[in-house]
Structure 1
Amino acid sequence: MASATFTVQQDTALTNSHFTLSVAQTASLRSQLKSQRGILNSNNIKVLCAQLNVSDDVLLQGLVPLASEYAVAPVSGFHVGAIVKALDEKGEVNFYFGANVEFDHQALSLVVHAEQSAINNAWLNGAKKIVKIAISDAPCGYCRQFMNELADAKEFDILLPDQQFKLAELLPHSFGPTDLGNEFSLFNPKPQQGNFSFDGLDETLARFALNAYVPYSQNFSAVKISTFSDGDFYGSYAENAAYSPSLSPLQSALSQFFLAGLSFNESTVKGITLLETAGRENQSQVAKAVLASFTHLPALKVISAPLK
């Protein structure tokens, strides 16, 4: 496909069993979510809860249909939304939205699942503790395994439209980081010391790479998507003990890109850069496979740099 486009219904109200947002209120919220790249901060949440006279948990579940609108699903046509309720470094509650992203004419294993998208959004934007995740549909086994890598895997609640679970109920007898001798986890990674040895390296890209969660390959890596007029989008590599549910740095960055409501095409994208750890590289072919879904994009720039 030539481009992947984000679309929403701009002239509809949001209605559920607990509250109703008018057409104007819903449109305003959609605009806010685009500008904040799929995040509602604590002040946003408090204002909405006061306006609607609901708790933040009711609001959390009520907004899931909006999260689904961010989905890019050219293969399945199945739009899934998820929202993570998490605490930031100040202990404030924020909502981090996510949705599935698919790539036409590419292996289905390359898709970004909605739960991955929301968790990635929280992780990249400094969330410290996941409290709940609300999802429009039951999580598949892939997503359950991805969530099992989280520091809060045994604690947070999984909220479906009419049910609530702990992860252990959905993934009994699980395989996780400790089975591979890894005492760390996503949101509680092993501190990375040092930096990349590469002249002129984008400092922000390097920071996202160093913040990657890569206990199994040690390939600290990240992707930067530069746009002509909408800023830069970054993604970090997030590995999983089961390997397959790992989220590549390009998938991570693309998920952030679509949460801003942008179209992924030559009119928007100025450049795409992948940074990998020299001697540990494993992401360039994955990135090229994903990008093969699109035409007329700038060539992927790959930087391999040693750590010092």
Structure 2
Amino acid sequence: MASATFTVQQDTALTNSHISLNVAQTASLRSQLKSQRGILNSNNIKALCSQYAVSEDSLLQGLVPLASEFSVAPVSLFHVGAIVKALDENGDIHFYFGANVEFNHQALSLVVHAEQSAINNAWLNGAKKILKIAISDAPCGYCRQFMNELADAKEFDILLPNQQFTLAELLPHSFGPTDLGNEFSLFNPKPQLAKFNLDGLDETFARFALNAYVPYSQNFCAVKIVTFNDGDFYGSYAENAAYSPSLSPLQSALSQFFLAGLSFNESVVKGITLLETKGQENQAGVAKAVLASFSNLPALEIISAPLKE
């Protein structure tokens, strides 16, 4: 099967009603985002706002077309971008980019939506509170349900090209974590005190697995993608009260991978490993289905490790 590829429009400039960048400026910013894996930190944001004489929110919405360029959409050919504006643990504002990711010849339920991608990017990289999310197109019901799992679901604004909403306006009479008796939520997880009982386990890999949001299955799990020349990429499992909008650890990791502008093929990828909690495993089938969209990749390694207090 043909592998998904990362494509960008190198010959066009980034423009909308909020900000206008010429071709050279767009190319420079595109390159910066790839190197920073889809994140603009507070210093980047301040510099760009000063350079282009725009507000933070104008910059946020103005950069959404660039987020769409990270989309991998071989099925729909519909490229969606999203950017989360969030606070880190120090109260600094960062922009976390996201884009939809699709997989050839696989169930459409495996697609990573742009909103999921941006939220996942913020979550994996230490964001503590979402303030706003700007999206190129109105969020589908699936994404509205995914956002409803967030600790800030009732507080942040959803910015569309010419409209602004709260999630409550887009998802009335919602069903969320509290309906299943879960007092915790994505970005406000239950403290995890257990550790994996496996000698020699990569500490960073274990941390991503233990940071998974899994109140329903208790399968603390993560995926690690090792590349030859571009470092490692990690993804954690994020569940949802409605179950179907849950984001698997491989989808989480692949979303991060594509935000770096890389092609998922044998010349880039050295290894792929899934770490699951022994006795709670449920992700091997999903991971294998996603990977079936690609050819000539290294075989998936699966580690199942028990937890200990």
TM-score, scaled relative to structure 2: 0.99
C-alpha deviation, 1:4, in angstroms: 1.4
One-letter amino acid of the structure 1 residue matched with residue 85 of structure 2: K
CA RMSD between the two structures: 0.6
CA distance in 2, matches of 1:279, 1:25: 51
Report if aligned partners of 2:85, 2:130 keep a CA contact under 8 Å in 1: yes
Asked if residue 65 in structure 1 is aligned to residue 103 in structure 2, the reply is: no
2-structure distance, mates of 1:179, 1:48: 42
Give structure 1 stretches of 5+ with no counterpart. Answer: none
Aligned residue number for residue 4 of structure 1: 4
Residue 272 of structure 1 corresponds to 272
2:19, 2:218 → 1: CA distance? Answer: 47
Deviation at 1:16, TM superposition (A): 1.5
* Map of 2:255 onto structure 1: 255
Q: For residues 44-55 of structure 1, what are the structure 2 equivalents within 5 Å?
A: 44-55=44-55
Number of positions where the alignment pairs a residue of Structure 1 with one of Structure 2: 308
Partner AA of 1:104 in structure 2: N
Matched residue type, 1:163: Q
1:149 maps to 149
* 1:217 match: 217
| Secondary structure in 2 matching 1:44 | helix
Give the Cα–Cα distance (whole angstroms) in 1 for the partners of residues 117 and 173 of structure 2: 25
What residue in structure 2 maps to residue 34 of structure 1? 34
- Distance, in Å, in 2 between the alignment partners of 1:155 and 1:295 is 43
- State the 1:148 CA deviation: 0.1
Q: Which runs of 5+ in 2 are unaligned?
A: none
Alignment of 1:33-112 (within 5 A): 33-112=33-112
**Distance of 1:17 and 1:228 partners within structure 2:** 41
Distance in 2 of aligned mates of 1:66 and 1:49: 16
Report percent identity of matched pairs.
88
* Contact residue 221 and residue 274 of structure 1 kept, 8 A: yes
Match for 1:12: what amino acid? T
The AA in structure 1 aligned to 2:161 is P
Paired residues of 1:85 and 1:130 also in contact (CA < 8 A): yes
Contact 2:98–2:114, Cα closer than 8 Å, also in 1: yes
Give the C-alpha shift of residue 12 in structure 1.
Answer: 2.1
Contact 1:2 1:265 in 2 (8 A): no
Amino acid at match of 1:274: L
Cα deviation for residue 20 of structure 1 reads 1.5
How does 1:230-245 map onto structure 2 within 5 Å? 230-245=230-245
Structure 1 contact 235–249 (Cα < 8 Å) conserved: yes
Q: 1:18, CA displacement in angstroms?
A: 2.5
State the Cα deviation string for residues 52-109 of structure 1 (Å, max 9, x = none).
1110000000000000000000100000000000001111110000000000000000
1:140-185 Cα offsets, whole Å, 9 max, x none, are 0000000000000000000000110000000000000000000000
SS at 2:307 equivalent: coil
Question: After the TM superposition, which of the residue ranges 172-181 and 198-207 deviates more from structure 2?
Answer: 198-207
Provide the rounded CA distance (Å) in 2 between the counterparts of 1:169 and 1:290.
Answer: 34
Deviation at 1:14, TM superposition (A): 1.2
Distance 2:130 2:296 in 1: 39
> Aligned runs of 1:120-269 on 2, under 5 Å?
120-269=120-269
- Give every structure 1 segment of 4 or more consecutive aligned residues whose post-TM-superposition deviation is greater than 3 Å: none
CA distance in 2, matches of 1:277, 1:39: 30
Secondary structure (helix, strand or coil) at the match of 2:195 reads coil
Q: Deviations over 1:111-163 (max 9, x none)?
A: 00000000000000000000000000000000000000000000000000011
Q: CA deviation at 1:6?
A: 0.8
Is the contact between residue 18 and residue 61 of structure 2 (CA under 8 Å) also seen in structure 1?
no
Distance 1:43 1:25 in 2: 17
TM-aligned CA deviation for residue 202 of structure 1: 1.1
Equivalents in 2 of 1:172, 1:12: separation in Å? 39
Distance between the aligned counterparts of 1:182 and 1:238, measured in 2? 14
Q: Which residue of 2 aligns with 1:287?
A: 287
Q: 1:17 Cα shift?
A: 1.7
Per-residue deviation at 1:2? 2.6
